[in-house]
């Protein structure tokens, strides 16, 4: 998925002593030809990564364009942090994401939905810093929970930590459907 931190020796990294700005949300804007409600077919949506949103952490998931071989070149990232900084007179807008990668090379035959799972490096979650420009839109994941009902005390804010696999819901809105069809 591009250059990773192990590709560059720490001694070869530039020294950075500037401010890093942290944000709890970002707005994704994209062309949605099936929704002409916006100016010229443009659509926008707010993506959140907030440690305290109405009393609970909210870390939205997004589709990220990585030009990969499956899922139309998209993978899922859970946004842990939005941030920006200036280096050498250039502004960088980024997100720290936890990867969710496709299971298999085709959607689930029963549901027609892609299945993803958290990517791990050993026993730790696989994290990456991506440019905001690579974020295509928000994504809706549904936990693959099996035949038993969820416990009555299960809280929605734990959903993205509670399951081993998730369905990527292309039916959440027509924009997701357009991206994944």
User: Which parts of 40-147 are beta strand (E)?
Assistant: 42-53, 56-59, 61-65, 74-87, 90-102, 114-118, 120-121, 124-125, 127-131, 135-139, 141-143
Return d(Cα 176, Cα 181) in angstroms, integer: 8
State the pLDDT at residue 89: 92
pLDDT, position 34: 62
CA distance 153 to 163: 15
Quick one: pLDDT at residue 181? Answer: 76
pLDDT at 1: 47
Long-range contacts of 147-155, Cβ-Cβ distance < 8 Å, separation of 24 or more? 155/56
Locate 28 and state its tokens. Answer: 């994704």
Task: Enumerate residue ranges in the chain where pLDDT < 50.
Answer: 1
Q: What's the pLDDT tens digit per position in 140-176?
A: 999 998 888 889 999 989 999 999 999 999 988 777 8
Q: How many CA atoms lie within 13 A of 98 on its CB side?
A: 16
Contact of 45 with 39, CB cutoff 8 Å: no
Q: Tens of pLDDT along 43-54?
A: 778 999 999 999
Of 12, 28, 176, give the one whose Cα is nearest residue 95. Answer: 28
């Amino acid at each position: 998925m591009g250059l990773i931190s192990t590709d560059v020796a720490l001694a070869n990294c530039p020294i950075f002593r500037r401010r890093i700005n942290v944000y709890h949300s970002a707005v994704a804007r994209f062309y949605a030809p099936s929704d002409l409600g916006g100016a010229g077919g443009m659509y926008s949506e707010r993506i959140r990564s907030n440690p305290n949103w109405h009393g609970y952490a909210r870390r939205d998931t997004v589709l990220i364009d990585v030009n990969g071989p499956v899922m139309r070149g998209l993978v899922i990232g859970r946004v842990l942090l939005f941030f920006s900084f200036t280096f050498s007179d250039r502004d960088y807008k980024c997100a720290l994401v936890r990867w969710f990668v496709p299971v298999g090379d085709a959607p689930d035959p029963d549901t027609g939905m892609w299945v993803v799972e958290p990517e791990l490096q050993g026993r730790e979650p696989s994290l990456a810093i991506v440019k905001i420009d690579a974020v295509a839109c928000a994504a809706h994941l549904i936990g693959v929970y099996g035949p038993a009902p969820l416990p009555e005390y299960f809280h929605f804010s734990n959903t993205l930590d509670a399951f081993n696999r998730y369905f990527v819901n292309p039916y959440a809105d027509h924009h997701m459907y357009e991206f994944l069809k």
